[in-house]
Amino acid sequence: MAAVHINRNVIETLATYSNTADPFFGVLLGHESEAGWHVTGCCCFTDSSLNNFTNQKDSVTRYLSGGLSVCGIFFENQSLQADDIVKKVSKYPLQNQNGLVILVKQPKDNKVTEDNIFVSPDQNTVEKPKVIDITEDLPALITARLRCPLTISVKVAAKGSLKNSLSNVIENLCNTLSSPSAVYRVQDTEVVFNSSSLVGLPNEAVCSRLLDLTTSDEDEFVSGKQKHSKSYKQRTLKCEVLQNISIADDSGEGTLCAPIIQHNLEKFQAVTLTLPVDVCCQVTADTTVLTLGQYMTTAICNQLRAMQDCFVQYVEGDVPPKVQVFHFQPWKSTAIVSVIYPEGKSEEKLESRRRELHSLFCLPLSRPVFRRGNVSLFPEDINQNGYLINPHQYINTQPMKDGQQYLVQGLYSYHHYMQDRFDDNMWGCAYRSLQTLVSWFRFQGYTDKPIPTHREIQQALVDVGDKEPKFVGSRQWIGSMEVSYCLDHLIGVTSRIAFVSEGSELATKGRELAQHFQIQGTPVMIGGGVLAHTILGVDFNEVTGDVKFLILDPHYTGAEDLKVILEKGWCGWKGMDFWDKKAHYNMCLPQRPKVI
């Protein structure tokens, strides 16, 4: 039996899972490769009865990106004996060619280790896997993305008939897409494939071959050594779905007649809907292209059914809403789940929907995961709004000896002097740092408010009574306190303020900052007597107390050139000598609101 690799995150989630209302029961999600299963997430079921199992499992699959599948099951059991586990597992209708992963927790035991993990090659046996690997690093996945809006026309005969007609049309579409006539083409290549045929490559070709065939602009984006390793992983394979409408002579349709026309005169109403299909598949490099074809079809059909659910759930009168697809990465891994939301509904109105999702994917109710702002960014999206995203991720320096790095969690965009065609050279650094902070709250889904301009920031300070009206339009500096007022007023985020009377004292703030990045993970604005900066992380040595700071410098006036920014240290690690020993400093440490 092959190996089982489990993301540490899944183990931690399940070890600490304590929801008294629901049973400890659900399924494990993962990717399959030659090397076995890579378990990346889990879903908690509210009902452990056999009757509801298939329903619950089906509702999970509607969210899964291609390649991600239900790969196992977890439950509570008194005994960890294989024989006892078999009895329980064999009840559930779960079947996998590569076997099932089983995670069993004993009641009142909050420990989950290798001992709790089993595999079941078939329904009748349970054994220990040859290799169990609890890891942070799951293999790099190749992402293929297919975007293709489909138009359907659905007859609405009587009140409430929409659901049935819609379901018929969608199932027909799924049948079409599952038939051998539906094929996928990798854009700008001569490769066409589906689950049963491959044109342009040998039949046994694997997905890494597809990446080799495509070229991408991102290759030019990152310089030097990183170019290869980084961009290779980050490139998305863009695919399109096509229908082969030619008839092979040996097919059953070979006897089709010359076109006939049926014209039915009848009065009825029809609603035209757009299905904005946007499907991701994630596979390991050794997955065959044919398998990718199979994943693609499954994922498209799952998504079409999810759209159908969304149309029906949010229908008003006879008119279903316009729907949108969002891809999220809810776990500390690259694995994607996709959610359909109706367009135009506020985040507040969708909260109960998100609550369901948090509960289904065993996620705490403390931070947003499925807000539209949390949508995951694809390499091709990163440069679109003109700001650099997370430039620090491309830094290539070694960590401090015996130090541990604590970094900002999630994405932010780099805001600095002279952007947005606005000349704030010499005075706008704190404003820019504030913009970076707000961008973080946007990317993390806490707010959908736009990033404030200098003028809006000044107006906010007037509105809260901190400044006189003439402040608006001026070129006056602001400090950490002002930044915290603005965060509160503009996006409802409170902050903690930390003071040091001399720059040299910052050496003592290592632990505090480390803790901040560990728990809050928000970028920190630092200002005071002198210039303002953004702190993105610290490298901290527990023993010696040595500390280095990851600085994002808003004083940069050039273009969004990652190479220059990294080489000239506009984003980089700084030692204690970076700070002015004599000047005083204030830090604004934004706190995450507890919302979903």
Partner 1 sequence: MGRTILADEYLQSYIFEILKSGKWTIGLIIGQLTSQKDYAVKLIRTPEPVEDECSEDEESASPSKKRKRNKPESLATVDEQWVAQHAKQVTRMLPGGIDVIGIFVVAPPKMTQPAQSKLRQVLFAIQKVQKKTFPLEGEQSVTDRILLQVCSETKKFTCRTVDVADPKSDMRPAEWKSQSSGETWIKLQSRVSVNIHINIPQKNQDQMFFKRIQGAILPYCQRIQDGIVMIDNKLRGGQELLVPSQYDGKKGKGKEKGAVMKEPMNVKFLTQLESSISTAPVIEDCSSRMIIKGCVSCRAFVNSRSTVDEATRAIKADFIRSLISRCELLSEDIDVIEEETSIKELYDTPIRVFGCLPSSTIEFCDYVFQDEKIEEVIQRIKELLDVLVTENDLDLTSEKVATEEDWSNAQGVQAQISASESTPSGQVREIPIGAILGAAVLILSVVLYFVTS
Active site residues: 429, 553, 555
The span from the CA of 316 to the CA of 311, in Å, is: 9
**CB closer to partner 1, 160 vs 224:** 160
Structure letter (DSSP) for residue 337:
E
**CB closer to partner 1, 321 vs 379:** 321
Contact call for residue 261 and partner 1 (CB under 8 A): yes
Strand locations in 312-387 (E)? 323-328, 337-342
**Among 139, 200, 373, 410, contact with partner 1 (rule: CB under 8 A):** 200
The span from the CA of 471 to the CA of 473, in Å, is: 6
Interface map 135-164 toward partner 1 (x if CB under 8 A): -------------xxxxxx-xxxx--x--x
**Among 95, 97, 257, 398, contact with partner 1 (rule: CB under 8 A):** 257
Instruction: Please give the structure tokens belonging to residue 544.
Output: 């010696």
Element (H, E) at 549: strand 547-552
The span from the CA of 311 to the CA of 299, in Å, is: 18
Q: In this chain, which stretch among 126-134, 254-262, 289-297, 582-590 interacts with partner 1, using CB under 8 A?
A: 254-262
Q: For 431-489, give the DSSP string.
A: HHHHHHHHHHHHHTTS--PPPPPHHHHHHHHHHTTSS-GGGTT------HHHHHHHHHH
The span from the CA of 271 to the CA of 596, in Å, is: 34
Q: Which amino acid is at 557?
A: T
**Are the CB atoms for 142 and 237 separated by under 8 Å?**
yes
Contact call for residue 205 and partner 1 (CB under 8 A): no
How far are the Cα atoms of 18, 461, 479 from residue 416, in angstroms, in the given order?
Answer: 44, 20, 16
CB of 148 to partner 1, least distance (A): 6
CB of 456 to partner 1, least distance (A): 31
CB of 350 to partner 1, least distance (A): 18
**CB closer to partner 1, 49 vs 196:** 196
**Among 258, 346, 348, 543, contact with partner 1 (rule: CB under 8 A):** 258
Residue 145 dihedral angles phi and psi, to the nearest 5°: -130, 135
With CA atoms as reference, report the closest residue to 531 among 461, 419, 437, 428: 428
Q: How many CA atoms lie within 13 A of 350 on its CB side?
A: 20
**CB closer to partner 1, 267 vs 421:** 267
Contact call for residue 179 and partner 1 (CB under 8 A): no
Contact call for residue 321 and partner 1 (CB under 8 A): yes
Chain positions 45 to 104 lying near partner 1, rule: CB under 8 A, are none
Site residue total, partner 1 (CB under 8 A): 60
Instruction: Please give the structure tokens belonging to residue 134.
Output: 């609890």
Contact call for residue 559 and partner 1 (CB under 8 A): no
**Among 20, 97, 136, 260, contact with partner 1 (rule: CB under 8 A):** 260
Residue 68 dihedral angles phi and psi, to the nearest 5°: -90, 130
**CB closer to partner 1, 159 vs 401:** 159
**CB closer to partner 1, 108 vs 263:** 263
Contact call for residue 352 and partner 1 (CB under 8 A): no
**CB closer to partner 1, 207 vs 275:** 275
**Among 115, 212, 220, 240, contact with partner 1 (rule: CB under 8 A):** 240
Instruction: Please give the structure tokens belonging to residue 308.
Output: 């159908």
Contact call for residue 202 and partner 1 (CB under 8 A): no
CB of 323 to partner 1, least distance (A): 9
Q: Categorise residue 446: left if φ over 0, alpha if ψ from -120 to 50, beta otherwise.
A: alpha
Beta-ladder partners of 4: 37, 132
**CB closer to partner 1, 253 vs 567:** 253
Contact call for residue 318 and partner 1 (CB under 8 A): yes
Length, in residues, of the chain: 596
Q: For 138-158, give the DSSP string.
A: PPPEEEEEEEEEEEEEEEE-S
How far are the Cα atoms of 3, 89, 108 from residue 11, in angstroms, in the given order?
Answer: 16, 20, 16
The span from the CA of 548 to the CA of 394, in Å, is: 18
CB of 282 to partner 1, least distance (A): 23
Contact call for residue 214 and partner 1 (CB under 8 A): no
Contact call for residue 241 and partner 1 (CB under 8 A): yes
**Among 70, 103, 126, 169, contact with partner 1 (rule: CB under 8 A):** 169
Contact call for residue 462 and partner 1 (CB under 8 A): no
Contact call for residue 262 and partner 1 (CB under 8 A): yes
**Among 81, 187, 229, 269, contact with partner 1 (rule: CB under 8 A):** 269
**Are the CB atoms for 521 and 443 separated by under 8 Å?**
no
**CB closer to partner 1, 265 vs 543:** 265
**Among 249, 250, 348, 577, contact with partner 1 (rule: CB under 8 A):** 249
With CA atoms as reference, report the closest residue to 535 among 547, 543, 546: 547
The span from the CA of 37 to the CA of 311, in Å, is: 34
**Among 1, 140, 213, 271, contact with partner 1 (rule: CB under 8 A):** 271
**Among 244, 334, 541, 557, contact with partner 1 (rule: CB under 8 A):** 244
Residues that bind partner 1 (CB under 8 A): 148-153, 155-158, 161, 164-165, 168-169, 172, 176, 183, 185, 190-192, 199-200, 240-247, 249, 253, 255-274, 276, 318-322
